[in-house]
Structure formats: C-alpha cells, structure tokens
Amino acid sequence: MTRIIHPVAGAVAIVTIATFWLSTALSELLASRASVVAVKTAIPWGFLLLIRALLAAGASGLALAKGRRAGAIGAKLKRMPFIAANGLLILIPSVPFLASKSRAGEFDAAFDAVQALELIGGHEHCAVSHPP
C-alpha cells in the first residue's frame, strides 16, 4: 500500500503546487485584478489538500526507505530540510499575506515583492523536490 501512496501523494503535491504557481502567474500576467483576487483567495483552501499530500508523501517515503540512507534515498533525505524550510519559511507565510493584500486591493510594492518570492520559492520547491 505504501508503494502506491507515496507516488500518488507526491504527484498530488506537485500538481497542486504547479496549479498554484500557474494560476498565479497566468492571473498576474493575463487576467484582471478580480482574477488575481480570486486566485489568491482560493489558494489557502488548496492548502487543505496540499498539506495532507505532503504529509502522506513524506511519511510513506520514510516508511519505504526503511532506514536506508545511501543512493537516491540519501540524496532525497539531504534535500528534504531545504524543501521543508522553503515551504515553512517562504511559501506558507506568503499565502495568507497575499490573500489578505489582494482582498484589500493592496497591489503595492510589498505585494509584488512577496509575490515574486512566492513564485521563485514555488518553482524551487518543485525543482529541488524532483530534480531532472
């Protein structure tokens, strides 16, 4: 069962982050302010799925590793602190900040700076988690 849960949960997490990223980028570049507000206020609700998928992927990955620390498993375990720090320190705090600013119509320099940081962090989160 763990062999099924791990790739499915990982795929759900990656697709969810990619959906957040693409929705944000496309709404910022091509859509109206109302669309940006809709995207920014919907993303926190997506955390209900994302957090569960990340927890399931992490727990099932550790179970599959069975204490091994060499090879690809070791490389992944070395990347995990950076992946977790990126999520906890950049991505998670950005979401409520951007949702609040967008609802208030405050598309100022602070919004733009945090938005850029979030887009870079979201891209790096996926790239570091699953390198080419």
C-beta separation of 66 from 8 below 8 A: no
Quote the CA–CA distance of 4 and 36 in Å, as a whole number.
Answer: 36
Quote the CA–CA distance of 62 and 114 in Å, as a whole number.
Answer: 32
Select from 126, 103, 99 the least CA-distant residue to 114.
99
C-beta separation of 69 from 77 below 8 A: yes
Return the H-helix or E-strand segment holding 89.
none
Above 60 in pLDDT, residue 125?
no
pLDDT in tens, 5-26: 999 999 999 899 889 999 999 9
CA angle, residues 97, 22, 7, in degrees to nearest 5 = 100
> What's the mean pLDDT in 82-97?
89
> What's the mean pLDDT in 81-104?
90
pLDDT at 111: 95
Domain that holds residue 34: 2-129
Quote the CA–CA distance of 17 and 46 in Å, as a whole number.
Answer: 9
pLDDT at 129: 55
Q: Which structure tokens are listed for 31?
A: 């859509």
Give the three-class secondary structure for 117. helix
Q: How many domains does the chain have?
A: 1
Q: How confident is the model at residue 122 (pLDDT cuts 50, 70, 90)?
A: confident
What predicted TM-score, i.e. pTM, was given to this entire model?
0.80
